[in-house]
Structure 1
Amino acid sequence: MVMKTNGFIEGGFPDELKRVLRSVGSEWGDVVDDMEALQVVPLKGAMTNEVFRIIWPTKCGNLNRNILVRIYGEGVEAFFNRDNEIRTFECMSKHGQGPRLLGRFADGRVEEFIHARTLSAADLRDHEISALVAAKMREFHDLEMPGPRTILLWNRMRGWLVQAKSMCSAKDVKEFCLDSLENEINMLEKELSHDYLDIGFCHNDLQYGNIMLDEETRSITLIDYEYASFNPVAYDIANHFCEMVANYHSATPHILDYSKYPELEERHRFVQAYLCSAGKQPSEDEAELLLQEVEKYTLASHVFWGLWGIISGYVNKIEFDYMEYARQRFQQYWMRKQELLASSDKAPDNHVDGYVVYDR
Structure 2
Amino acid sequence: MLCFPLYSGLTQICFKSKQACLSLSLISIPTSMAIKTTGFLTGSLPEELMQILVTLASTWEDVNDPNEIKVKPLSGAMTNEVFQIIWPTEKGDLHRKVLVRIYGEGVEIFFNRDDEIRTFECLSHHGQGPRLLGRFPDGRVEEFLHARTLTADDLRDPEISALIATKMREFHSLDMPGPKTVHLWNRMRRWLRKAKGLCSPAEIKEFGLANLDDEIQMLEKELTRDDQEIGFCHNDLQYGNIMMDEETKSLTLIDYEYASYNPVAYDIANHFCEMAANYHSDTPHILDYSKYPDVEERWRFIRAYLSSIDDEPSESEVEDLFKDVGRYTLANHLFWGLWGIISAHVNKIDFDYMEYARQRFRQYHLRKPQLLGPSLAPLNDDDNGF
- Check whether TM > 0.5: yes
Cα deviation 1:233-275 (Å, max 9, x = unaligned): 0000000000001111111111111111111100000001101
| Aligned with residue 247 of structure 1, among 278, 293, 313 | 278
| Aligned with residue 149 of structure 1, among 167, 173, 180 | 180
Cα deviation 1:186-234 (Å, max 9, x = unaligned): 1111111111111000000000010111111101110000000000000
The answer to whether residue 132 in structure 2 is matched with residue 104 in structure 1 is no
Identity of aligned residues (%): 67
Q: Match of 1:136?
A: 167
Q: Match of 2:302?
A: 271
Q: Match of 1:91?
A: 122
SS in 1 for 2:211: helix
| Aligned with residue 196 of structure 1, among 222, 227, 230 | 227
SS in 1 for 2:375: coil
Asked if structure 2 preserves the Cα contact closer than 8 Å seen for 1:254 and 1:324, the reply is yes
Letter in 1 for 2:223: L
Cα deviation 1:282-312 (Å, max 9, x = unaligned): 1111010000000000000000000000000
Q: How far 1:158 moved relative to its partner?
A: 0.1
Cα deviation 1:138-178 (Å, max 9, x = unaligned): 00000110011010000000000000000000000000000
Alpha-carbon distance in 2 for matches of 1:203, 1:309: 18
Q: How far 1:11 moved relative to its partner?
A: 4.6
Q: 1:49 to 1:334 in 2, by over 3 A?
A: same
TM-score (norm 2): 0.87
Q: 1:351 to 1:196 in 2, by over 3 A?
A: farther
Q: How far 1:343 moved relative to its partner?
A: 5.1
Q: How far 1:30 moved relative to its partner?
A: 3.9
Alpha-carbon distance in 1 for matches of 2:244, 2:162: 12
Q: Which has the higher mean CA deviation after the structures are superposed, 55-64 or 220-229?
A: 55-64
Alpha-carbon distance in 2 for matches of 1:253, 1:54: 25
For the aligned residues, what is the CA RMSD?
A: 1.7
Asked if structure 2 preserves the Cα contact closer than 8 Å seen for 1:24 and 1:103, the reply is no
Alpha-carbon distance in 2 for matches of 1:19, 1:269: 49
Which consecutive unaligned segments of at least 5 residues does structure 1 have?
Answer: none
TM-score (norm 1): 0.93
SS in 1 for 2:376: coil
Alpha-carbon distance in 1 for matches of 2:265, 2:43: 47
Q: 1:241 to 1:149 in 2, by over 3 A?
A: same
SS in 2 for 1:282: coil
Q: How far 1:350 moved relative to its partner?
A: 3.5
| Aligned with residue 210 of structure 2, among 179, 203, 213 | 179
Question: Counterparts in 2 of 1:1-360, with a 5 A limit?
Answer: 7-9=38-40, 10-35=42-67, 37-59=68-90, 62-342=93-373, 344-345=375-376, 347-350=378-381, 357=385
Q: Which has the higher mean CA deviation after the structures are superposed, 343-352 or 298-307?
A: 343-352
Asked if structure 2 preserves the Cα contact closer than 8 Å seen for 1:93 and 1:100, the reply is yes
Asked if structure 2 preserves the Cα contact closer than 8 Å seen for 1:39 and 1:54, the reply is yes
Letter in 1 for 2:340: G
Letter in 1 for 2:251: I
Q: 1:6 to 1:17 in 2, by over 3 A?
A: closer
Alpha-carbon distance in 2 for matches of 1:343, 1:107: 47
Q: Which has the higher mean CA deviation after the structures are superposed, 10-19 or 46-55?
A: 10-19
SS in 1 for 2:108: helix
SS in 1 for 2:281: coil
Q: Which has the higher mean CA deviation after the structures are superposed, 26-35 or 325-334?
A: 26-35
Alpha-carbon distance in 2 for matches of 1:306, 1:78: 15
Cα deviation 1:5-36 (Å, max 9, x = unaligned): 9513235321221232133224434433442x
Q: How far 1:121 moved relative to its partner?
A: 0.7
